[in-house]
Amino acid sequence: MAVKLDLYRVFKAVAETGNISLAAKELYISQSAVSQSIKQLETALQARLFSRSPRGVSLTGEGQMLYQYVRSALGLIATGEDKLSQAQQLLLGTLVIGASDTVTSFFLTRYLEAFHREHPAIRLKIVSGRSAKVLSMLHSGAVDIAFASSPADAAVEHWPCFATHSAFVAGSGYDCDFDHVYSIQEIADFPLILLERKASSRVILEQYFLKSGVTLAPEIELSSRSLLVSLARIGLGVAGVTLEFVQRALDAGEIRVLKTDFDIPPRSVDMCTLREVTPTAAASAFMEMVRADRS
């Protein structure tokens, strides 16, 4: 049995005022509309809710029982509407962002700091994961925004944030010729240090090499980007890295880039949301801040 919410609003007003006329004034409707609403509700519920007298109306036993629930339900609705309004005004709420630790450190930190400073009432939650993981979480609704590498997904709307470039590096003392221009096969023949197979940058490398008929067979596979630099620095092999994420080690001279006669196409790290889902007010504000800064 479905009863319109407006009938319960009228019922509550009459129960609390004990008077049809006062309830009508409170609700800004006519007395006849109030009386008709009460009649409709009693008919729908098949119960007598009010006792009438010359002094007004009072709840029956059944009406009193119903009133307790209606008061609570309408109170919760009012609270929900108030919370929604506050969230829309960025006075409360949570913003959940999915990104890898590297992207968070390299790119997001300054935006998180600025957003928190401007909207301190919004709770920021960062979920760490590689591109495939955070995009999966975006689809499931576990995150509001995902930062991922070149997502090829029609259901995802994305905005490029920054480009990344692949390169091969070795420790400054590694037994190789840094002036030599290496071919794709020569690079593959080195003891390679690469990220694990599920990393998007590893996938890009393997696909690129396979197009030239070369299969990558790394001696060391890692889950941590920072370990790529660490192990290359101590001479354990040549590491496949993202240049933007190892710039500090390059500037310090800890590692050096090997010259190659090929260039792996750059990738884009994009800010992603679901195309058919309206972002929350907090997500919209964060995305607008990033877009405005990158334009």
CATH number of the domain that residue 98 is part of: 3.40.190.10
pLDDT over 70 percentage in the chain:
98
Q: Are residues 148 and 290 in the same domain?
A: yes
Both 117 and 181 in a single domain?
A: no
What pLDDT is recorded for position 62?
A: 94
Q: What is the CA angle 217-221-227, rounded to 5? A: 135
In this structure, are 51 and 10 located in the same domain? Answer: yes
Q: Which value, to the nearest 10 degrees, does the dihedral of the CA atoms of residues 128, 99, 249, 191 take?
A: 70
Helix axes 31-45, 5-17, angle to 10 degrees: 110
Above pLDDT 90, what percent of the chain? 74
Domain that holds residue 234: 166-265
Do residue 153 and residue 175 come from a single domain? Answer: no
237 in the same domain as 101: no
Shared domain for 177 and 245, answered yes or no, is: yes
Which of the four pLDDT bands, split at 50, 70 and 90, describes residue 2? low
Pinpoint the alpha helices (H) of the chain.
Answer: 5-17, 20-27, 31-45, 61-88, 101-103, 109-118, 131-140, 184-189, 200-211, 225-233, 247-251, 281-294
Asked whether residue 260 falls in the same domain as residue 277, the answer is: no
Residues 6+ apart with CB under 8 A from 133: 98
Query: Which of 33, 56, 88 marks a domain boundary?
Result: 88
- Residues 60-108 pLDDT 10s: 999 999 999 999 898 888 877 877 787 778 888 889 999 999 999 999 9
Question: In terms of Cα–Cα distance, which of 136, 137, 157, 150 is closest to 96?
Answer: 137
**Is residue 60 located within the same domain as residue 186?**
no
Judge if 139 and 106 occupy the same domain: yes
Q: Are 12 and 71 in contact (CB under 8 A)?
A: yes
pLDDT in tens, 139-179: 988 899 999 987 777 889 999 999 999 999 999 999 999 99
161: helix, strand or coil:
strand
Q: How many structural domains comprise the chain?
A: 3
Residues 143 and 259 in one domain: no
Q: What is the CATH number of the domain that holds 83?
A: 1.10.10.10
Rounded distance between C-alpha atoms, residue 130 and residue 149, angstroms: 9
pLDDT tens-digit map of 18-61? 999 999 999 999 999 999 999 999 999 999 999 988 888 999 99
- For residues 268 and 204, the answer to whether their CB atoms sit within 8 Å is no
Residues 9 and 149 in one domain: no
Does residue 235 come out as left (phi exceeding 0), alpha (psi in the -120 to 50 range) or beta?
A: left
Residues 180 and 247 in one domain: yes
Residue 91 has a pLDDT of: 82
